[in-house]
Chain A
Amino acid sequence: KQEVTQIPAALSVPEGENLVLNCSFTDSAIYNLQWFRQDPGKGLTSLLLIQSSQREQTSGRLNASLDKSSGRSTLYIAASQPGDSATYLCAVRPPTDSWGKLQFGAGTQVVVTP
């Protein structure tokens, strides 16, 4: 069974520092991987989607890499701001079911201090 792990569970950085968030998964046979942001008491906001054939995706200050062979993805947030404070979750989709059934990590709670 696919297991998704995000370490650390919580992270605090000063404003301006680059954020590095980790996601690891046990089965390298994935369809794609998605990164989400969740603010307290809110739903999930999709940040980036990486297909299994891709090595990275970029959107503004965000860059996500994917290394299927090692079962890892990393989300980089450049020049962090207090508004980046949130919980970040990664989720993988198995190749046998292209219609969903995402497997989620527990998330990394990020605090960016001014």
Chain B
Amino acid sequence: DGGITQSPKYLFRKEGQNVTLSCEQNLNHDAMYWYRQDPGQGLRLIYYSQIVNDFQKGDIAEGYSVSREKKESFPLTVTSAQKNPTAFYLCASVAGTYNEQFFGPGTRLTVL
């Protein structure tokens, strides 16, 4: 089945640690995105990538980093510089010329 997978589903981080969230898609989509969701708020864009080896900052990129070495993979690293990383993180990709966006199941990150 084609789709977007994210791992792990739950992640716990200690203060000062960097953690990496995985996002893989087998939809052959060119563009991929990372969003952050906080309770009662809409999704906010962290980073996006339109092609391999290229990515752009979104609205809240500070404290995060990404890489896009393969078309199907777009990992997100939450660094110790991110002051309030506890949130639900969603990965997405864009399909075809109509730009319908599809989402993965999400990773919930909690800072201990």
Contact = CB atoms under 8 A, between A and B. Distances in A.
Interface of A: 4, 9, 31-32, 34, 36, 41-46, 49, 51, 89, 91, 93, 98-107
26 contacts: A31-B99, A32-B98, A36-B103, A41-B88, A41-B108, A42-B105, A42-B106, A43-B103, A43-B106, A44-B92, A46-B102, A46-B103, A49-B98, A91-B42, A91-B101, A98-B99, A99-B99, A100-B48, A100-B92, A100-B101, A102-B45, A105-B42, A106-B40, A106-B41, A106-B42, A107-B42
Contact of B42 (A34, A42, A104): A104
Interface residues of B, number: 27
A99 B51 CA distance: 11
B33 interface: yes
Given A49-B98, A102-B43, A106-B42, 19 more contacts: A32-B98, A34-B101, A42-B105, A43-B6, A43-B103, A44-B43, A44-B90, A44-B92, A46-B102, A49-B100, A51-B98, A89-B42, A89-B43, A99-B48, A99-B99, A100-B99, A101-B45, A104-B42, A107-B42
